[in-house]
Amino acid sequence: MRFIKWLLVLLVLASVSVTALGYLYLYVLPTGPERTEAKPFPDGKDSFVIDAYVHTARKTIRVWTYKPQQWTPEDPVLFVMHGMGRNAESYLDAWTEIAEQKSLMLVAPEFDSRFSRFVTNDYQEGNLKSYFGRPNPESEWAFTVVENIFDHVNAVNGLSLGGYDIFGHSAGGQFVQRMIALKPASRIRKAIAANAGSYTFLDDTVPYPYGLGSVNHNLGYSFDRQLVVLLGELDNNAEQGRLDQTERAMKQGAHRLERGTNFFRTSRAAAEKQGGEFNWSLQVVPDVGHNYKGMSEAAAKLL
């Protein structure tokens, strides 16, 4: 009996220690690459590192950029949001030729994490809650980090741009859709959410991130924003990419094409019930599956 009690005590201590160490590593200790000097963006490809939050220097973020030589302040700025692989540079590279053709300044934040295969709350779920379920202040939402980066773009380049476009694929598509739903006062002009693996359905009875339960939102304002739900015609089976197959995700549909279609259909019904504007649209890209390069080329035609 005494042995069992000691074993239980050791298990509790081990659990508390692991939790404490995880909390310290993820949310207390300084993380991220070393900050770089603030300077105007050069032509071509580059990157910089800034503080992710405005109120604390405990976390930094690397941001990849590409600026065509002919770009002017009258031309668009496009944020490119990477997928679950956190491969921001690869996503940027997929857009550089398009950027030259359409005179786009590209900005690709890198939400890096050593636990990216297991942690989703910090990126595609917007960092509304910590890994342990504790609500985070809006100043630490991943959506707010994008706005902070846009402030940096304006500041270091001597610009006063009023807005930006944003494209995200896969996990990045989840990010974009949730940002429109939960931070509609952002300076996004047009948002394109491509091949998202799951969605935040506009249902207060379903817990976040699969629904809007327990989070503040203003759907009327969200419906006013321009959002394109972009789906690959061939992204129609669960074998492509790392598809969320939890119980709540599977209720949204068997694969990304079905989930995106269901999300748009139910969102349109919610908007019609509420009344007012509904500036969202659905487009299916023929002969493309879960491929960020193919979806980037399709998205470029919408800008």
Q: Are 100 and 157 in contact (CB under 8 A)?
A: no
Mean predicted confidence (pLDDT) in 215-228: 92
Q: Is the dihedral of CA 203, 204, 207, 208 positive or negative?
A: positive
Name the amino acid, one letter, at 257: L
pLDDT tens by residue, 14-34: 555 555 555 655 666 558 899
Dist. CA 32–CA 276, nearest whole Å: 43
pLDDT tens by residue, 239-255: 888 899 999 999 999 99
Tokens for 102, please give them: 């359409």
Whether the pLDDT of residue 191 is over 70: the answer is: yes
Q: Are 85 and 172 in contact (CB under 8 A)?
A: no
Q: What is the pLDDT of residue 240?
A: 87
Q: What is the CATH number of domain 32-300?
A: 3.40.50.1820
What are the sequence ranges of the domains in the chain?
1-30, 32-300
Could you tell me the pTM of the whole model?
0.91
Percent of the chain with pLDDT over 90: 79
Mean predicted confidence (pLDDT) in 195-203: 97
Q: Are 96 and 44 in contact (CB under 8 A)?
A: no
DSSP string, the chain: -HHHHHHHHHHHHHHHHHHHHHHIIIIIS-BSSPP----PPPSEEEEEEEESSSS-SSBEEEEEEEE-TT--TTS-EEEEE--TT--HHHHHHHHHHHHHHHT-EEEEEE---TTTTT--TTTTTTTSB-TTSPBPPGGGSHHHHHHHHHHHHHHHHT-----EEEEEETHHHHHHHHHHHH-TTS-EEEEEEES-SS---S-TTSBTTTS-BTS---HHHHHHSEEEEEEETT--STTSS----SHHHHTT-SSHHHHHHHHHHHHHHHHHHH-S---EEEEEETT--S-HHHHHHHHHTT-
Unique residue bearing structure tokens 């699969």: 210
Mean predicted confidence (pLDDT) in 142-159: 98
Whether the pLDDT of residue 197 is over 80: the answer is: yes
